[in-house]
Amino acid sequence: MNQIDLKGRRAAVTGGAQGIGRAVVERFLDSGAEVAIWDFDRALAEKTAAELSAHGKVWAVPVDVTDWAAVEAAAAETAGDRTIDILVNNAGIAGKNATVADYPVEEWRRVIDLDLTGVFHGCKAVVPYMEKAGYGRIVNVASIAGKEGNPNAAAYSAAKAGVIALTKALGKELADKKIAVNCVTPAAARTAIFDQMTEEFIAYMLSKIPRGRFVEVEEVAAMIAWIASEDNSFTTGAVFDLSGGRATY
């Protein structure tokens, strides 16, 4: 593993109890950061924190990212008498696979609320701490679906496209400060989110990846670790692809 220096940094990772989020937490710990796992599932977050405790200082902060007041409180708890140097907005769901004509309105709202509004909440809560400290790194986890649009996944695609635009807008707002805001657009990783998808849709996603395989969560974590580091001192408002060759722009 290539070494990334995050020593002395305090990070928050939403959806950090499993999947890509857990891989990011572990990579951050191994890079010297201390990490707060922000997750809706308290029991799983505490279990993950206990399992990774040998890697460094890590703790669970139960939070529903769709609840602004809860996110604001989680940020205050995490910052404590210091700050939050790094935020990774990773929490998300796939939602149902259905055509737009057949897509349930409430399901659309559920996906947008978690996958897009949840990212907005995280950024809104943490940016004031970073501005006060004069330093920060925000990494938003979008998706290749946000660039290309996946059929039968309009809500997810639209939410992730929104995350890309939010990243670009916030990156410009903070460009005159030592705060970098970037996003990653991975192809699908074989995590628990696959449980929400049909086998037909999973096969469709795989067929679109020139590498011929799904991305590994550790590969996503490796890229995020560098983006979240002090070395990433110039790039902001950018989109980093992990699409296995699928991305066309």
Contact status, residue 74 vs residue 61, Cβ threshold 8 Å: yes
Residues 6+ apart with CB under 8 A from 180: 136, 137, 138, 171, 174, 227, 232, 233, 235, 236
Catalytic hit among 103, 135, 156, 204: 156
Write phi, then psi, for 138 (nearest 5 degrees).
-120, 130
Q: Residue 52: in which H helix or E strand, if any?
A: helix 42-52
- Distance, in Å, from the CA atom of 27 to the CA atom of 48, rounded to the nearest integer, reads 13
- Distance, in Å, from the CA atom of 72 to the CA atom of 61, rounded to the nearest integer, reads 12
- Distance, in Å, from the CA atom of 82 to the CA atom of 131, rounded to the nearest integer, reads 13
Active site residue 135: no
Catalytic residues: 156
